[in-house]
Structure 1
Amino acid sequence: MANRRTDERGDAVPGAPRRNAGSVPEPALTVRAASGQTKGVVLLLHGGRSRSYNRVRAGNLSPARMVPVARHLQRAGGRHGLAVWSLRNSVRGWNGEDMSPLQDARWALGRIRQEHPGVPVYLVGHSMGGLTAVCAADDPQVDGVVALAPWLSGETPAARVAGRKVLIVHGTEDRLTSPAESLKFARRAAPETESLQYVSLKGAGHFMFRRLAVWNALTTGFVLRAFSEKTGFPVPDDPVLGRLIPSSASSIPVVL
């Protein structure tokens, strides 16, 4: 059964009905639960291809690449009430007007809304998942977006992130998605957001292998800070994030 919700050990958890019937590929969710009451949810969105209707499998590199991010977020935020949900898309491609990953993200956000109505949601996406996060940010529960090496362009709708907190991180050596387009989007979207920060990581490429600790520190620190600001829960500010991006920073870009 492809469409199942699982806990952090990979065991099936009841309560995730099938979205489609028949042989159509389906998305899947892995849930790393918060300690105690869930006060916020992080939804992780992985990368993919421009066009492909091949099924995404658990062993594919794109969803596997998000596992360390999920673990880092859980270790830092789980005790403060943050649950971490990882979405595995139904198919590998964006697929033009079908926008397949966006459909899957909307489905996952619907599941979050059913289980945790009213809690703030933070979208964290890599590559194509960064585009998905930006496009899904208009969901009413979304408070913030982290886009890591995102696949953005002049056609990416900036209005979707209006009123949201946004962090975009892009490596200077990325050859698969464009740092220049990410920066253009950041400048275009900034006036409409609650806050927008763009970080240019010197020497980092697309797959986040280089400077991994910085990618993780920025992502987790940003989410925890936004969660604390939204809810008032006393989450300590990440000292690493504080050194890299002071809470008052508004310049675009910040170069690290």
Structure 2
Amino acid sequence: MAHFALVGPPEGRRPRLGRPVSSRSVASAVGGVVLLLPDGEPVSARRASLRARTAMLPLGRGLVRAGLAEGLVAHVVHYRTRGWNGADADLAADASWAVEEAVRRYGDVPICLVGHGFGGRAALRAAGHEAVGAVLALAPWLPEDDVAAEPEPVRQLVGRRVLLVHGTNDARTDPELSFRFAERAKKANRETCRFEVHSDGHALRQYADEVRALVTDFALGALFARPVARPVTDAMAAPPPLGLRMPLAAGFGGSSRR
């Protein structure tokens, strides 16, 4: 009989919020919070990856700069471990804790979850808290419905604005699985759209400027009712599959508001 080592966070290890992502001090009047959820691994009890956390910082800094007038604050979530770990869904549990902690610290302000890879899956899972108004999943790791014990849930997304972004050449997380998830999510919540980044990979480096512009446009629009770029409006309004396979055009964030 095979024996499998137990995985999961060692007893006593706790999640936490990193320091506010900004060189400026936190504004006295916080108007909204972005929680940045780094990538992880399928199964692991190792400490969360510093590299994955660091990779979220440029996105966070850009969001804080763009949302300075509204008092936007961003934190990178420090997981207890880097593993999703099956039914324990440790990263999703840590994301849910982070939402509660943000509410405790900042009170009744809107929260946006932004996750990459397994962090994208954690963001989608943790969206059910009433304080969460928007969710962005970048290259999310999602299971195949036909091999999962249960389909990945979507009901927690109702009433949220949801954006998925995936590179078409992602060799680590299957973009077709995020499309199938988006199809189910759209049926439960029409405020769902998905953008495809042609020929980009898991890290979304090839069109990093466009991805950051899209995330900023979407997040600030959802948190502070700012007008969003026309492609985002079109993607939300378009029926599947058009609004779930919206191409992210080169130069988005420049001329895309026309």
- Give the shorter-chain TM-score range: 0.7 to 0.9
Partners of 1:217 and 1:184 lie apart in 2 by 25
Q: CA deviation at 1:191?
A: 2.3
- C-alpha distance in structure 2 between counterparts of 1:168 and 1:190, whole Å: 11
Q: Deviations over 1:69-123 (max 9, x none)?
A: 1111111112222111210111010001111111211211111111222211100
Which amino acid in structure 1 is aligned with residue 233 of structure 2? Answer: P
Q: Which residue of 2 aligns with 1:226?
A: 222
Cα distance in 1 between the residues matched to 2:230 and 2:126: 30
Cα RMSD for the two superposed structures: 1.8
2:168 maps to a residue whose letter is T
How far apart are residue 228 of structure 1 and its match? 2.2
Residues 97, 142 of structure 1: CA spacing in aligned structure 2 closer, same or farther, 3 A cutoff?
A: same
CA distance in 2, matches of 1:179, 1:244: 20
Answer whether contact 2:218 2:232 (CA < 8 A) is retained.
Answer: no
Which of 25, 34, 42 is 2:13 aligned to?
A: 25
Q: Does 1:99 align with 2:99?
A: no
Q: Mind listing any 5+ residue stretches in structure 1 that lack a counterpart? A: 1-21, 230-234
Shift of 1:25: 2.6
* Aligned-residue identity in percent: 34
Q: Which residue of 2 aligns with 1:77?
A: 67
1:1-256 alignment runs, 5 A limit: 24-30=12-18, 31-32=20-21, 34-56=26-48, 60-153=50-143, 154=145, 155-229=151-225, 235=226, 237=227, 242-246=229-233, 249-250=237-238, 251-256=243-248
Amino acid of the structure 2 residue aligned with 1:46: P
CA distance in 1, matches of 2:97, 2:138: 22
Aligned residues: 224
| SS of alignment partner, residue 93 of structure 1 | coil
Q: Structure 2: how far apart are the matches of 1:132 and 1:43?
A: 11
Runs of 4+ with deviation above 4 angstroms:
none
Normalising to structure 1: TM-score of the pair? 0.82
TM-score w.r.t. length of structure 2: 0.81
Q: Cα distance, 1:35 vs. partner?
A: 3.3
Are the aligned partners of 2:186 and 2:192 in contact in 1 as well (CA < 8 Å)?
A: yes
CA contact (8 A) 1:171 1:203 kept: yes
